[in-house]
């Protein structure tokens, strides 16, 4: 297949993009389905963003 030795292999980058979307979507859906799911004892802003 063309591009097999390119840094921009369209199929692989497409699959990787799909993987990122899927993982984030699963996490968001999980949060929506289990709003009371336990977690850290204290919620701090610095847990979310560096």
Chain residues that interact with another protein, rule: CB under 8 A = 1, 3-7, 9, 11-12, 15-16, 19, 22-24, 26-27, 30, 34, 36-41, 43, 46-50
Cα angle: 28, vertex 41, 29; to 5 degrees: 10
Nearest distance in Å: CB 13, another protein = 8
| 2 closest CA partner among 18, 10, 14, 13 | 10
Nearest distance in Å: CB 12, another protein = 5
Tell me the CA end-to-end span of the chain in Å, nearest whole number. 40
């Amino acid at each position: 297949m063309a591009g097999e030795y390119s840094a921009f292999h369209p199929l692989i980058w497409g699959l990787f993009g799909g993987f990122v979307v899927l993982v984030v979507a699963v996490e968001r859906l999980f949060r929506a389905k289990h709003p009371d799911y336990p977690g850290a004892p204290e919620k701090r802003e610095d847990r979310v963003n560096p």
